Amino acid sequence: MNRYPIWKYLLIILSVALAALYTLPNLFGESPAVQIASVRATVKVDAALQQNAEAVLKGAGIKTEDVFFDGTSVKFRFKDTEVQLKAKDLLQARLGDDYSVALNLLSDTPSWLTKLGAKPMSLGLDLRGGVHFLLEVDMKAAVDKALEKTAGDVRRELKEKKIRYGRIVATRDSVEVQLRDEETTQAAAKALRQVLQQSQIDVRENKIVISYSAVALQQLKNDAVKQNITTLHNRVNELGVAEPVIQQQGEGRIVVQLPGVQDTSKAKDILGRTATLEVRMVEDDQAKMSEALNGNVPAGFELLSERGSDGQNRPILLKKEVELTGDNINDAQAGFDDQNSAAVHINLDSTGAAIFKTLTKESIGKRMAMVLVEKGKGEVVTAPVIRSEIGGGRVQISGSMGVAEANDTALLLRAGSLAAPMNIVEERTIGPSLGKDNISKGFNSTLYGFFAIAVFMMIYYRVFGVVSAISLAGNLLFLLAMLSLLGVTLTLPGIAAIALTLGMAIDANVLINERIREELRLGMTPQAAISNGYDHAFATILDSNVTTLIAGLALLIFGSGAVRGFAWVHCIGILTSMYSAVFVSRGVINLIYGGRRVSTLAV
């Protein structure tokens, strides 16, 4: 008796082997690396760039250990920091301002492990140092901006339909239009219902109230947060930070984490900076163009580059005068035009619409350029020919572009500015030396505690104590493997949870061992005592672990920050400890005592 079928042993061996495999990446250190990312949304990092960078490094005789391309950036691994710094300076000089070249640390995990999906745990900022911001999006401002836009739309529409109106005011959550009499009110309501299909339009005696539905309001807020996140992404790219975290938290908050950054004021400057869009007229006069190409740009003009549909950049001559800026753009969305080809629909505010109308009226047949100014440098996104006067503030840019390109352009037009202002509500800077300290202290305290428990168990319960220690070690292995596999970010409270979970995990073994002693005292045979001991203890272990798990899950759902970091590890730890204390330890005990005649148990 007390023998497991062979498949159970195989399962234990397999699970331990897998756990060891997935814990393994944590043992490899990190080596210095350089990461090349794009600074502009129009410049893509691709395989061609990788080859280019490789050639640059090879030409200078710099040896790389490893190169890979992860979809958004190219990373090179080097032997030591000296080579890394040399490579960084060289790459930044050769590749130019379109790319950010950042220093990075990459895990030394061999590629065969990475291919199996094994990766080291990612460390939280409190363990590696860096800056953490919690930004709050000013939702009221976002709603106000949208209401202003609607008020402008109403004004324009009523003017166009030649309906006389009185005051138009944007109140807290609606736009009110005062009208003269019943007749004009009905006419206005009819006209507005056609244009403002998203909004709710109520008619009260000689007054129209336009408000957003709850759904539309929610959509508006979501869009504001999304746009701000996109903009932040673009800006953070400029910092050249390796692996930044930019996430939405709750309804209107954004978390920005920049590992390794120490200078908060620089980080804040860049997060707060704006990229702008400018509409300027193109000068197609060939004489002036050739003059400019010869390096002699005429006064009042500027030579910029235009991205063609084939991906090549070609020079384009623009007037310096800015007709319209991105401040007047309310929204830009990718879509399709009448001929069903990809297009970008831009929505201008009332001022923008008025300017745009005059501009297009006076310049039919000429080319107009949309210039995105980032980092003090402009680039022409598109330069279409004006075919007719465009009123109403709805501008459509179409031409020889694909769907992906239309999406990119729409993103670009939106990305320049923030949908709503943001405030920093939380800010943390953790020095790298503190991070290292935290790791070593957390690690040491866990280690000492673990040894103390293991030694005690072995002395107190002898063979069964040794098995308990083995299963506790197994539990640690399973826990680390699960954390690595699930990609949980390890924080200091997480390390504390590992320690606490180990301390609590021994409870199951103690319950079992005590139970077996008790059964022996009651006069059971050794084999029956093992079997009954495990069986009786199981109900207790289940009950106590489920209650602990309930507490852990509540923490996970309602906790934030430190509490959540703790809860993740705690919950996973409870599950792994049940597996190792009940199943693995029984397996080892069965292997030692099972299937033979035993007169005494060493417990």
What residues between 402 and 461 interact with other proteins by CB under 8 A?
A: 423-431, 433-434, 437-438, 441-442, 444-446, 448-450, 452-453, 456-457, 459-460
85 sits near other proteins (criterion: CB under 8 A): no
- Residue number with CB closer to other proteins (342 or 495): 495
Query: What beta strand segments (E) does 282-328 contain?
Result: 301-307, 313-319, 324-325
Task: Please report, as residue ranges, which positions from 458 to 477 form the binding site for other proteins (by CB under 8 A).
Answer: 459-460, 462
151 with 175: CB under 8 angstroms? yes
Q: At what angle do helices 585-593 and 432-486 cross, to 10 degrees?
A: 70
CB-based contacts of 403, cutoff 8 Å, min separation 6: 334, 342
The strand pairing partners of 132, in sequence order, are 257, 428
Residue 533 Cβ vs other proteins, minimum distance, rounded to whole Å: 12
156 with 353: CB under 8 angstroms? yes
By CB under 8 A, name the one of 191, 463, 562, 575 that touches other proteins: 562
568 sits near other proteins (criterion: CB under 8 A): no
By CB under 8 A, name the one of 62, 354, 553, 591 that touches other proteins: 553
Residue 489 Cβ vs other proteins, minimum distance, rounded to whole Å: 16
493 sits near other proteins (criterion: CB under 8 A): yes
- Residue number with CB closer to other proteins (125 or 412): 125
By CB under 8 A, name the one of 337, 561, 579, 594 that touches other proteins: 561
| Gap between the Cα atoms of 201 and 158, Å rounded | 15
Which phi and psi (to 5°) does residue 258 adopt?
Answer: -120, 95
Q: What SS3 class is residue 266?
A: helix
CB-based contacts of 199, cutoff 8 Å, min separation 6: 150, 210, 211, 212, 213, 216
By CB under 8 A, name the one of 216, 500, 528, 591 that touches other proteins: 500
The two beta strands, 122-123 and 489-490, are parallel
Residue 232 Cβ vs other proteins, minimum distance, rounded to whole Å: 18
By CB under 8 A, name the one of 483, 502, 530, 589 that touches other proteins: 502
483 with 490: CB under 8 angstroms? yes
CA angle at residue 274 from 269 to 279, to 5 degrees? 155
Residue 490 Cβ vs other proteins, minimum distance, rounded to whole Å: 14
| Gap between the Cα atoms of 15 and 22, Å rounded | 11
- Residue number with CB closer to other proteins (54 or 427): 427
551 sits near other proteins (criterion: CB under 8 A): yes
Query: What beta strand segments (E) does 349-500 contain?
Result: 368-374, 377-382, 394-398, 422-430, 489-490
- Residue number with CB closer to other proteins (192 or 506): 506
- Residue number with CB closer to other proteins (399 or 449): 449
Residue 16 Cβ vs other proteins, minimum distance, rounded to whole Å: 23
Binding-site size, other proteins (CB under 8 A)? 77
Task: Please report, as residue ranges, which positions from 287 to 346 form the binding site for other proteins (by CB under 8 A).
Answer: none
- Residue number with CB closer to other proteins (389 or 427): 427
Q: Name residue, tokens 């997060």.
A: 271
511 sits near other proteins (criterion: CB under 8 A): yes
499 sits near other proteins (criterion: CB under 8 A): yes
- Residue number with CB closer to other proteins (385 or 452): 452
* Secondary-structure breakdown of the chain: helix, strand, coil percentages, each rounded to the nearest 5: 55, 25, 25
Task: Please report, as residue ranges, which positions from 96 to 155 form the binding site for other proteins (by CB under 8 A).
Answer: 126, 134, 136
| Gap between the Cα atoms of 89 and 100, Å rounded | 11
Q: At what angle do helices 432-486 and 492-521 cross, to 10 degrees?
A: 50
- Please choose, out of 42-50, 101-109, 347-355, 541-549, the segment that lies near other proteins by the rule CB under 8 A: 541-549
By CB under 8 A, name the one of 194, 294, 539, 600 that touches other proteins: 539
Residue 190 Cβ vs other proteins, minimum distance, rounded to whole Å: 44
Q: Convert residues 201-230 into a mask of x (bound to other proteins by CB under 8 A) and - (unbound).
A: ------------------------------
| Gap between the Cα atoms of 348 and 363, Å rounded | 19
Starting at the earlier edge strand, list the strands of the sheet with 73-77.
Answer: 66-69, 73-77, 30-38, 99-107
517 sits near other proteins (criterion: CB under 8 A): yes
Task: Please report, as residue ranges, which positions from 254 to 283 form the binding site for other proteins (by CB under 8 A).
Answer: 264-265, 268
| Gap between the Cα atoms of 29 and 10, Å rounded | 32
By CB under 8 A, name the one of 166, 358, 563, 595 that touches other proteins: 563
- Residue number with CB closer to other proteins (386 or 439): 439
Q: What SS3 class is residue 251?
A: coil
500 with 514: CB under 8 angstroms? no
- Residue number with CB closer to other proteins (297 or 434): 434
By CB under 8 A, name the one of 59, 183, 558, 596 that touches other proteins: 558
Residue 493 Cβ vs other proteins, minimum distance, rounded to whole Å: 5
507 sits near other proteins (criterion: CB under 8 A): yes
251 sits near other proteins (criterion: CB under 8 A): no
CB-based contacts of 296, cutoff 8 Å, min separation 6: none
Residue 340 Cβ vs other proteins, minimum distance, rounded to whole Å: 48
- Residue number with CB closer to other proteins (142 or 281): 142
